[in-house]
Structure 1
Amino acid sequence: MNGSLNKPKGFGQILDQTFRLSKQHFKTFFLVFLTLIGPFFLLQALISLVTGTSFLKETSVGTDIFSGGFENWANDFAAEEEMVTSANVIGSILVSLITFISFLIYPAAQGAIIFGVDHIRKGERFTFKQILRESFSRYGPLLGSSLLIGVIGFGVAVVPTLIVTFIATFGMLIHPFIGLMLIIVLFIAILIGVLYFMVRWGFGVAVSAMEKGYAPGLGRSWHLTKRRSWTIVGLFLIFGLILGVISAGLELTLGLFLGNSVLYQLIVNLVTLFTTMIVSVGYSIIYFDLKIRNDGDDLEQLIDEYETV
């Protein structure tokens, strides 16, 4: 049994465990996302090729990439937006369809990571195929919970945004400064509110994977996250900040050299898989930490170990 994963952890400990487990089990965890989500990115790349996007765009001879690179990259994107053909429209529709299907598969990838972290905390060996089988055995509840949380999140975000937009427009008619301040304050409030409620309900996916009697698990998630909501919000903000800076830096650097080429898109998608994997590991660790704090799972496992001695 992994002792560090079977006792309550602080903010820094969860971050440390997330990056440590992501590194130690990188091959297995990344292969999960590469196998389940990677083919959709490959299809998107093939569609881009067919619709005329170059695979590899080299920097023009004599161009100073550091002085003119940003302008050239921006011009490349603008030029591609102007070249709208029927093939581009069909390609965009196909890419949107593929993206939607990949979202339906994502819960299986998340479930596999949850099962993998569960094996790690129990000190059990596991394989890529094993955690995939375990995840797909719970695919129905995982998908149902994910879709329900997505719909709720959409409602929580969109309805207040429409209300705020109406209020802000009214404020702008009174005075531009009042309208601007209303927009800033109210949209910050919406962001905080969305993060809070998504944290309170968001662990329904993990509950659906591990606790068969609770799917879709929204009520159970609400119970687990009490008194830890803002800590979890802070953790996900830190994850987003760290991984966002890494992703943005890589995308900007690669974009200067490759433009909006197919190779650029493929590399960006691989980086997305990598960052999504890390967040999924962090999500799983937080879930088991919440279970330990609420259910005393660490005591149950210690009792089981004592009885087997």
Structure 2
Amino acid sequence: MNDYDDSDWRSPSDGSADHQSPRPRDDAPRFGAYGSPPPGRGGAGQGPAPDGASWAAPADGFFLAPKPGIIPLRPLSIGEIISGAFESLRANPRAMFLPSLIVLTATGALSAVLNYFGTSLLFSNLNSLIDSSDVDSSDVTFSGILSTFVGSFASQVVGLLLTALATTILTGLLIVAVSRSVLGRIATPGEVWERTRGRILPLIGQTLLITLITLVADIIIAIIGIALIAIVTSFIMGSDPGVGAIIAALLVAFALAVLLFFAVVFLIVRLSLAPAALMLENTGVVEGIGRSWALTRGSFWRVLGILVLAGLITGIVNGMLSFGLGLIFGVVALGLPAAQPLVTALTMLLTSVLSALVLPFTAAVTALTYIDLRMRGEGLDVELRRAAGV
């Protein structure tokens, strides 16, 4: 496997050339900016692939495709995407795990400290309320409990926001590290950060915009659904409501819930590759979202299957580890009720550590799905072969 070299092909694209490529430096391939796709790939009116082969089919060079890194440079099967994600963890553990462990452990520790003090104060006020026999002092304590509960909730929200921010940044870094591993090159955490730090603010902005898009879409569907419920119930109920009207309202509400669920899933799938496009093509915030929408067009069920399979894998791993930790801490909490705030804080910290172990795999799946769809639709494998010098 080749060492990382600044003179080699870069990701995100920066116009650099691959010194191993037979092409001139000013015509060197770049990850996100290259010429027309090869014949038979993408775009109407193009001729068939050489020898009648289908460029988009995984069978094209299935056994002969070069594999300089973690995946063969050809359209991938779903199993190859998942195995490639695991391979990326093995090929470059420093870049894949070290940033996640450092950042998420730090944010988890901060969240745990905030949660510990908030929970301790809440339990202290509850004990004071229980032990108090004076009504006036009880009223005062209750007011204190309410403000403490609000403060504790706010500290948890701050912790969640910090974790979400850290996860967004780390996802971008990890996607770039995976793109290097595809070419068989190793990037250190410092080198990955140096290459991607200028894209962090756009990545955060893109994440916020996607969240806003999803939220607005759900609100619109909810408003329409509530209006339909009101119309249906008022039409059936009339002046004498009955069981039929109640059942009809429940059915409409159920249909609304299902519609909201599918709307969220649809948007998650269609926008799931936006971070990869932004990091690996140097696109803008909105342009990256558009790229994800375009790449997933016609591949919705394929991308959904990949995301579901990856989610099942991470869910099983998280579930097994969380169950063991929950069992241990649950026994401790029952035996030592006074230690509940400490147990809650430690649980939050260890949950962040578990997320740091799972996040690299999820980011790798996103990056490889993006690369696979571009190989299928845009001939990216040809460019990658040139960049890898194979």
If the length of structure 2 is used for normalisation, what is the TM-score? 0.64
Give 3-state SS (helix, strand or coil) of 1:155's partner.
Answer: helix
Q: 1:14 aligns with which of 72, 81, 90?
A: 81
Shift of 1:152: 0.7
Tell me the amino acid that sits aligned with residue 379 of structure 2: G
Distance 1:5 1:154, change over 3 A: farther
Give 3-state SS (helix, strand or coil) of 2:154's partner.
Answer: helix
The alignment status of 1:205 with 2:266, answered yes or no, reads no
CA contact (8 A) 1:109 1:135 kept: no
Tell me the amino acid that sits aligned with residue 156 of structure 1: A
- Structure number having the greater helix percentage: 1
CA contact (8 A) 1:31 1:128 kept: yes
Map 1:222-301 to 2 at 5 A: 222-259=293-330, 261=343, 262-301=345-384
Shift of 1:117: 0.6
The alignment status of 1:39 with 2:100, answered yes or no, reads no
Give 3-state SS (helix, strand or coil) of 2:71's partner.
Answer: helix
Tell me the amino acid that sits aligned with residue 117 of structure 1: V
Q: 1:128 aligns with which of 189, 203, 211?
A: 189
RMSD: 2.8
Distance 1:2 1:277, change over 3 A: closer
Paired residues in the alignment total 279
Tell me the amino acid that sits aligned with residue 45 of structure 1: A
Tell me the amino acid that sits aligned with residue 42 of structure 1: A
Q: 1:97 aligns with which of 136, 158, 177?
A: 158
Shift of 1:295: 2.2
CA contact (8 A) 2:271 2:293 kept: yes
Give 3-state SS (helix, strand or coil) of 1:226's partner.
Answer: coil
CA contact (8 A) 1:112 1:135 kept: yes
- Could you say which residue in structure 1 is the equivalent of 2:265? 195
Distance 1:183 1:276, change over 3 A: farther
How many angstroms apart in 1 are the aligned matches of 2:356 and 2:388? 37
CA contact (8 A) 2:94 2:189 kept: no
Give 3-state SS (helix, strand or coil) of 1:124's partner.
Answer: coil
Distance 1:243 1:303, change over 3 A: closer
Give 3-state SS (helix, strand or coil) of 2:321's partner.
Answer: helix
CA contact (8 A) 2:119 2:152 kept: no
- Could you say which residue in structure 2 is the equivalent of 1:62? none
CA contact (8 A) 2:115 2:155 kept: no
Distance 1:19 1:169, change over 3 A: farther
How many angstroms apart in 2 are the aligned matches of 1:296 and 1:19? 24
Tell me the amino acid that sits aligned with residue 87 of structure 2: R
Task: Give the gaps of 5 or more residues in structure 1.
Answer: 55-82
- Could you say which residue in structure 2 is the equivalent of 1:2? 69
Shift of 1:232: 0.7
Q: 2:115 aligns with which of 28, 48, 52?
A: 48
Shift of 1:155: 1.5
If the length of structure 1 is used for normalisation, what is the TM-score? 0.78
The alignment status of 1:160 with 2:231, answered yes or no, reads no
Shift of 1:121: 0.7
Shift of 1:257: 2.5
Deviation larger for 182-191 or 149-158: 182-191
Tell me the amino acid that sits aligned with residue 278 of structure 1: F
Distance 1:184 1:25, change over 3 A: farther
Larger Rg: 2
Aligned-pair identity in percent equals: 22
Deviation larger for 277-286 or 212-221: 212-221
Shift of 1:30: 2.1
Tell me the amino acid that sits aligned with residue 243 of structure 1: T
Tell me the amino acid that sits aligned with residue 268 of structure 2: M
How many angstroms apart in 1 are the aligned matches of 2:230 and 2:92? 51
CA contact (8 A) 2:118 2:155 kept: no
Shift of 1:283: 0.9
The alignment status of 1:29 with 2:96, answered yes or no, reads yes
